Amino acid sequence: MSNLAEFRRLIAEIGLLETNNYGKDFLLTWERTVPELQQILFTAEGLKWLYDFNVSARCFDTGFAVSQFRDKSTRTRFSFGFASSLLGLSVQDLDETSSQISHGETVRETANMISFLTDFIGIRDDMFLGAGNAYMREVGAALDDGFENGVLPRRPGIINLQCDVDHPTQAMADLLHLKNFFGSLEALKGKKIAMTWAYSPTYGKPLSVPQGIIGLMTRFGMEVTLAHPEGYTLIPEVTDIAKKNVQTHGGKFNVVHSMEEAFTDADIVYPKSWAPYAIMQQRTELLKQNDREGLKKLEQECLQRNANYKNWECDEEKMKLTNNGEALYMHCLPADISNVSCKEGEVSAGVFEKYRIQTYKEAGFKPYIIAAMMLNYRFKKPGEVLESLYNRNLRRVI
């Protein structure tokens, strides 16, 4: 958007959507209707417009946004912090090693103790298959209990910053990037996106990124091809969701076992390493048992297995197979990049460098997506909030 008229048209579009985002935790994209997803996308664009034109988007005077990262993070951690600051909230990290959690404090106690002046809790918990999303729901139940019994003045919203099942802030940021790159959501219909496994010299990466992509893009009429070597499957229930989506929303979804087949005539490619579903199940059990020797053995087995598929890399030759050889390369970052002397990585250095700026722009939408999830949770009419922010807090730099 480049002018005020476009901003106002966006607000009008938000007002026409029939949605129910208010007061609902954002845990999985497929738990939301398409209009509800559109409302978050449009709200994110509105917030970005305000920031780009130096208009304050502060709609909170006080309050915390608590982040709980059970795995390493750069982009998502800073995106959550930026989103919170953009709306006027202070960020507080919950460090489990320095809290009473390490002394046996329950989830219910922790959730309530950190929430007296908290509006949102952002959680990344993607290490244990079958546990991350369940943990977020356990926190939600504890917050419900605290609010209903008068312990908490308001019920904080939960934002899934990545779990074992989905990475909704990443997938939604990717969708917004595609909307802007191709011009509209309608323009995505019929576009082929190849979500492919790619070789990496590491193992144990979560399934949530590819699952998030196939679970979301199949709802916008895209032709989604999931490609991976035999045995590198995702959670079966999520694959089933993608299959059902195309029956409702059009488009296509198919699974192939050839990177070349997936890339052929693709408009968008998304090479990403992940561990097989069965391996992640084994890894989860070993982690629960704190079996370090077992984990080391499993890692070596997986690395050896991965080594059989070093040809699964996004390189210049595979990119030539795409639509006119100019498909949009996407990645959630950081990408394992190969070089001339060592052909090991998800993507060749040449391909990554060609699309580096686009991947940075892709990542740049995530703070606004998170902020939009917050705004939609707390306010019933986000379009009117955007309008009032512009009218009340105009501080434009000319």
- The per-residue pLDDT for range 37-67, each reduced to its tens digit, is 999 999 999 999 999 999 999 999 999 999 9
Query: What pLDDT does 397 receive?
Result: 41
- Positions of the chain with pLDDT under 50: 340-341, 396-398
| Count of CB atoms situated within 10 Å of the CB of 181 | 16
Q: Answer yes or no: are the C-beta atoms of 64 and 91 closer than 8 Å.
A: yes
Give 348's contacts (C-beta < 8 A, 6+ positions apart).
313, 314, 315, 316, 337, 338
* Dist. CA 173–CA 179, nearest whole Å: 10
* Dist. CA 48–CA 366, nearest whole Å: 11
Query: What pLDDT does 102 receive?
Result: 57
Same fold, 4-166+366-392 and 170-363: yes
Query: What pLDDT does 96 receive?
Result: 75
* Dist. CA 186–CA 38, nearest whole Å: 12
4-166+366-392 placed in CATH 1.10.10.10: no
Phi and psi, residue 78, nearest 5°: -75, -30
Q: Answer yes or no: are the C-beta atoms of 379 and 386 closer than 8 Å.
A: no
pLDDT in tens, 178-236: 999 999 999 999 999 999 999 998 877 899 999 999 999 999 999 999 999 999 999 99
Q: Answer yes or no: are the C-beta atoms of 189 and 251 closer than 8 Å.
A: yes
Query: What pLDDT does 99 receive?
Result: 66
Query: What pLDDT does 137 receive?
Result: 98
pTM over 0.85: yes
The domains of the chain are located at 4-166+366-392, 170-363
Query: What pLDDT does 398 receive?
Result: 34
The matching CATH number, chosen from 2.40.50.140, 3.40.50.1370, 3.40.50.720, 3.40.50.300, for 170-363 is: 3.40.50.1370
How many Å separate Cα 283 from the centre of its chain?
Answer: 23
Query: What pLDDT does 365 receive?
Result: 98
Query: What pLDDT does 98 receive?
Result: 62
